[in-house]
Amino acid sequence: MNKTDRIERIRRDIDQQISYCHNRIDILNKRRNKLIGISKNSFDPHALIPIRYDDIEEWIKGHPFPKTCIDMVYQNKEIAFNNSLVCNTYQIDYHIVKCKPREYYIDKYLKQ
């Protein structure tokens, strides 16, 4: 193997390593962006409500026991999601919606 062949082989190896590093950086950036998106919802309250309703207030107003509805308001989306895994064992399908803090609904509907 002459000198130019070795230089060319080393150049190809370096190009391959650079390409691998760029691919790895892209993967890490996608993960970071996904985590940023998840973290934005981590402190916002979310409610688990039946699919036929668009928001929790609509459900509370039509429910004979509003405390039951208010109990479905969780601190963040992750907790709501984890509880949705158990709630779907009943006859009603639920979905997760962003809402106001639990105390807001307690003050509005239970302390009258």
pLDDT digits (tens, 9 = 90+) for 62-93: 899 999 999 999 998 888 888 877 765 566 78
- Mean model confidence pLDDT for the chain: 87
Quick one: what percent of the chain has pLDDT higher than 90? 55
Q: What is the distance between the alpha carbons of residues 107 and 91, in angstroms, rounded to a whole number?
A: 30
pTM exceeds 0.95: no
Q: What is the distance between the alpha carbons of residues 79 and 94, in angstroms, rounded to a whole number?
A: 14
Give the model's pLDDT for residue 111: 83
Element at 97 (helix H, strand E): strand 94-98
R_g (Cα) of the chain, nearest Å: 26
CA torsion angle for 38, 39, 41, 45 (degrees, to 10)? 130
